[in-house]
C-alpha cells in the first residue's frame, strides 16, 4: 500500500494484495489512510509515529461519537438523515474490513484480527 501526499510517505509490502484487491481501499484514500494509521497504532512499539499517535484525543465531536440518545435528539432536524447516513456508511465499512481481517492470512490481517474494533475504526 502506498500512502502519499505529493510523494511516497510509506509502503508496506504485507498489505500489497489487500490494497490491490480491495476497491474500497483503492478508491477511497481516506479509508487507506485510516487503515494505515491503525496499522501504525497497533504496532505502536515499532512505530515512528508513536509520539504523535499517543497525543491524539480518544474521541472527537463528530456524529460518529454521539450516543444513541444524542442521535435521537437530532431526529426531525435537517441534519439527522445526513448524520445517520454517515454512521451507517462507517459501520458498513467497519463490518467489511472486520470480516476481511478475520479471514485474511497476511501480516496486516493477523495484526488487525484481535485489535480492530468499531471504536478504533470510527
- What is the rounded average pLDDT of the residues 14-18? 66
- Number of other residues whose CB lies within 10 A of the CB of residue 15: 23
Distance (Å, whole) CA 12 – CA 47: 13
pLDDT over threshold 50, residue 9: no
Q: What is the DSSP string of 84-105?
A: HHHHHHHHHHHHHHHHHHHH--
pLDDT band at 14 (very low <50, low <70, confident <90, very high): low
Domains contained in the chain, CATH given: 5-120 (3.90.1410.10)
Burial code (b: 16+ CB inside 10 Å, e: under 16) for 41-68 equals bbbeeebebeeeeeeeeeeeeebbeeee
The candidate with the shortest Cα–Cα distance to 114, out of 96, 95, 97, 101, is 101
- Residue 74 burial by CB count (10 A; 0-12/13-18/19+): exposed, middle or buried? middle
CA dist 91 → 2, 10, 13, 25, 120 (Å): 24, 27, 27, 15, 12
Q: Are 101 and 8 in contact (CB under 8 A)?
A: no
pTM of the model as a whole: 0.81
pLDDT over threshold 50, residue 117: yes
Computed over every residue of the chain, the mean pLDDT equals: 85
Amino acid at each position: 500500500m502506498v500512502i502519499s501526499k505529493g510523494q511516497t510517505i510509506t509502503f508496506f509490502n504485507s498489505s500489497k494484495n489487500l490494497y490491490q484487491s480491495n476497491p474500497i481501499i483503492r478508491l477511497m484514500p481516506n479509508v487507506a489512510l485510516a487503515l494505515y494509521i491503525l496499522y501504525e497504532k497497533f504496532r505502536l512499539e515499532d512505530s515512528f509515529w508513536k509520539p504523535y499517535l499517543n497525543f491524539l484525543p480518544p474521541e472527537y465531536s463528530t456524529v460518529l461519537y454521539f450516543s444513541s440518545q444524542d442521535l435521537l435528539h437530532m431526529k426531525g432536524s435537517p441534519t439527522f438523515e445526513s448524520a445517520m447516513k454517515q454512521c451507517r456508511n462507517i459501520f458498513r465499512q467497519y463490518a467489511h474490513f472486520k470480516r476481511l481481517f478475520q479471514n485474511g492470512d497476511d501480516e496486516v490481517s493477523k495484526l488487525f484480527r484481535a485489535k480492530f474494533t468499531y471504536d478504533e475504526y470510527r
